């Protein structure tokens, strides 16, 4: 016979404390309040149509394709219909405030940091021996074999070869400083001399260097970066009191 267990709000709070989630939860709650207060102060308004569209996007994100799916999901997450509407409002007002505060700053931010947004298409493989690494490097220089052949020979995981994990599109911050400097100083297509890493000797073939371009995707990323920085600054200015047990 199964035993009945009752979980109280205090049980949930204690679990959050004991699993060290409180700092993150407090930060999220603080950000939410900062966003609400600032949006109101800035006079930002949410229309019924915008709210409905955001709610629809939330349903798509969480694969809530029917009313039954939605109600089941709400029950699973201890949410009411009103909570779901508030969730949609929070998501929408956050996006509106982000655009309001940060969109105009994106071009200047991008211009000041263009080098950070250059990208490179690289192919890489790691071997254990420095002698083998140099031998492979020189064979590439002399066009005795191509990089794909080296990958198939020296990458032990078949699924990694098939999925193309040896090929990456990277920015400077994605790589260790020494490798990053060599990659972005290369004249593609070319290989760079093997570099010692924690896992062995890395051979990198630089296929292409793509100059920085302010695409819509990158603009959205920069907006989010600027907004996160703004939130952190605002949080530091707050005197936060926890009215909980």
Strand partners, 106: none
Q: Is residue 123 part of a domain?
A: yes
CATH (domain of 124): 3.10.50.40
Q: Strand order of the sheet with strand 119-127?
A: 167-170, 119-127, 200-210, 190-197
Residues 174 and 199 in one domain: yes
β-bridge partners, 210: 119
> Do residues 76 and 160 share a domain?
no
Q: What is the pLDDT of residue 245?
A: 61
Q: Is residue 134 situated within a structural domain?
A: yes
Minimal CA–CA distance to 94: which of 34, 26, 41? 34
Token output for 145: 């074999």
Q: What is the pTM of this model?
A: 0.79
Domain assignment of residue 177, given as a range: 119-210
Domain assignment present for residue 153? The answer is yes
Domain total for the chain?
Answer: 2
The 3-class SS string of the chain reads CCCCCCCCHHHHHHHHHHCCCHHHHHHHHHHHHHHHHHHHHCCCCCCHHHHHHHHHHHHHHCCCCCHHHHHHHHHHCCCCHHHHHHHHHHHHHHHHHHHHHHHHHHHHHHHHCHHHHCEEEEEEEEECCHHHHHHHHHHHHCCCCCHHHHHHHHCCCHHHHHHCCCEEEECHHHCCHHHHHHHHHCCCCEEEEEEEECCEEEEEEEEEEECCCCCHHHHHHHHHHHHHHHHHHHHHCCCCCCCCC
Cβ 25 vs Cβ 77: under 8 Å: no
Strands 167-170 and 200-210: unpaired
Asked, for residue 242, whether it belongs to a domain, the answer is: no
Q: What pLDDT shows up at residue 167?
A: 79
Q: Report the pLDDT value the prediction gives residue 222, as an integer from 0 to 100.
A: 97
Question: CB–CB of 121/207 below 8 Å?
Answer: yes
Residues 225 and 183 in one domain: no
Q: Does residue 229 share a domain with residue 198?
A: no
Looking at the fold, whether 148 and 194 belong to one and the same domain comes out as yes
CB 184 within 8 A of CB 176: no
Instruction: Output the pLDDT for position 94.
Output: 98
pLDDT value at position 156?
64
Instruction: With respect to residue 1, please indicate whether it lies within any of the assigned structural domains.
Output: no
Look at residue 199 and tell me if it is in a domain. yes
Report the pLDDT value the prediction gives residue 19, as an integer from 0 to 100. Answer: 96
**pLDDT for 32:** 97
Longest CA span, the chain: 75
Same domain, 92 and 126: no
245 residues of the chain, pLDDT tens digit each = 678 899 998 999 999 999 999 999 999 999 999 999 999 999 999 999 999 999 999 999 999 999 999 999 999 999 999 999 999 999 999 999 999 999 999 999 999 999 999 999 998 888 888 898 898 888 888 877 787 778 777 766 554 444 345 778 999 999 999 999 999 999 999 989 999 988 888 889 999 999 999 999 999 999 999 999 999 999 999 888 888 76
């Amino acid at each position: 016979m199964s035993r009945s267990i009752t979980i109280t709000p205090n049980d949930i709070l204690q679990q959050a404390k004991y699993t060290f989630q409180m700092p993150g939860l407090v930060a999220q709650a603080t950000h939410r309040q900062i966003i609400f207060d600032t949006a109101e102060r800035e006079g930002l308004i949410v229309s019924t149509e915008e709210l409905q569209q955001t709610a629809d996007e939330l349903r798509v994100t969480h694969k809530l394709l029917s009313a039954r799916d939605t109600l089941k999901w709400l029950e699973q997450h201890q949410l009411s219909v009103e909570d779901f509407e508030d969730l949609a409002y929070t998501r929408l007002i956050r996006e509106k405030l982000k655009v309001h505060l940060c969109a105009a700053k994106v071009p200047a931010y991008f211009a000041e940091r263009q080098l950070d947004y250059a990208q490179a298409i690289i192919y890489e493989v790691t071997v254990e021996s420095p002698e083998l690494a140099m031998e492979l490097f020189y064979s590439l220089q002399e066009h005795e074999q191509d990089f794909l052949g080296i990958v198939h020979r020296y990458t032990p995981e078949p699924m990694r070869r098939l999925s193309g994990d040896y090929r990456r599109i990277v920015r400077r911050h994605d790589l260790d400083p020494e490798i990053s400097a060599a990659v972005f100083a290369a004249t593609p297509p070319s290989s760079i001399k093997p570099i010692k890493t924690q896992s062995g000797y890395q051979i990198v073939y630089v296929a292409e260097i793509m100059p920085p371009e302010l695409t819509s995707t990158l603009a959205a990323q920069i907006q989010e970066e600027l907004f996160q920085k703004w939130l952190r600054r605002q949080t530091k200015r707050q005197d936060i009191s926890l009215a909980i047990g």
